[in-house]
């Protein structure tokens, strides 16, 4: 796992960067989703992977004993997933509206706000 996850994070970042550099809407959205997932998995990996050791205080003692999995990164990821889900849903609707209004899914053809009038 410890070898697999960093490689996966790297692949997701590479794919995400490649996709947001495309000109098509759909690919840009996919790229943003990949980057979000990559960041989540990065937090997961960097928060140290501890297998099958939930952070429960054993009965009869007052403190946690090593090894235990740190719950905080997982809480962060959960929050980030929920936020990411909401924002990506909005982005998809926005892109669809833009496609209907402008009539193209080519980002290179959406330059009207950058032109000097």
Partner 1 sequence: MKLIESITMLIIILPIILPLTFSVMMLFFWKSVKIQRALNLLATLFSLICSLIIFVEVNNSGIISLQVGGWQAPFGISIVADLLSSIMVIITAVIGLTTALFSIGSIDESRERYLYYPLLQFLLMGINGAFLTGDIFNLYVWFEVMLISSFVLLSLGGRRAQLEGAIKYVTLNLLSSAIFLAAVGILYGLAGTLNMADVSRKIPFIENQELVNVVAVLFLIAFGVKAAIFPLFFWLPASYHTPPAAVSAIFAGLLTKVGVYAIIRFFTTVFIYNSDFIKDILLVSAALTMLTGVLGAAAQNNFRKILSFHIISQIGYMILGVALFSPLAIAGAIFYIIHHIIVKTNLFFISGYVKKLKGSYNLKELGGVYKFYPMLGLLFLIPALSLAGIPPLSGFWAKFVLIKAGLELKEFLVVGIALLVGLLTLFSMTKIWNEVFWKDDPQNSENVTDITYKSLTSGKKFMMILPIIILAFITIVIGFYAEPFFNIANESAMQLLDSSNYINSVLGLK
Contacting residue, 5, 8, 30, 39, with partner 1 by CB under 8 A = 39
Q: Using CB under 8 A, which residues numbered 40 to 69 contact partner 1?
A: 40, 42-43, 46-48
- Token digits for 15? 């794919």
Burial class (CB in 10 A: 0-12, 13-18, 19+), 9: buried
116 near partner 1, judged by CB under 8 A: yes
∠ CA 101-106-110 to the nearest 5 degrees?
60
- Token digits for 37? 């997932």
12 near partner 1, judged by CB under 8 A: no
Place of tokens 């970042």: 13
Residues that bind partner 1 (CB under 8 A): 16, 20, 25, 28, 32, 35-36, 38-40, 42-43, 46-48, 72-73, 76, 79-80, 83, 86-88, 90-91, 94-95, 97-98, 101-102, 107, 110, 112-114, 116-117
């Amino acid at each position: 796992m410890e070898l697999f996850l960093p490689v996966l994070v790297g692949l997701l970042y590479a794919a995400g960067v490649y996709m947001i550099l495309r000109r098509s809407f759909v690919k840009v959205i996919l790229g943003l989703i990949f980057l979000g997932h990559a960041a989540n998995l990065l937090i997961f990996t960097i928060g140290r992977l501890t297998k099958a050791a939930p952070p429960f205080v054993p009965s009869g003692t007052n403190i946690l004993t090593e090894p235990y999995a740190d719950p905080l990164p997982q809480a962060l990821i959960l929050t980030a997933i929920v936020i990411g889900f909401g924002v990506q849903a909005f982005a998809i609707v926005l892109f669809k509206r833009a496609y209907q209004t402008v009539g193209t899914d080519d980002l290179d053809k959406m330059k009207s706000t950058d032109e000097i009038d």
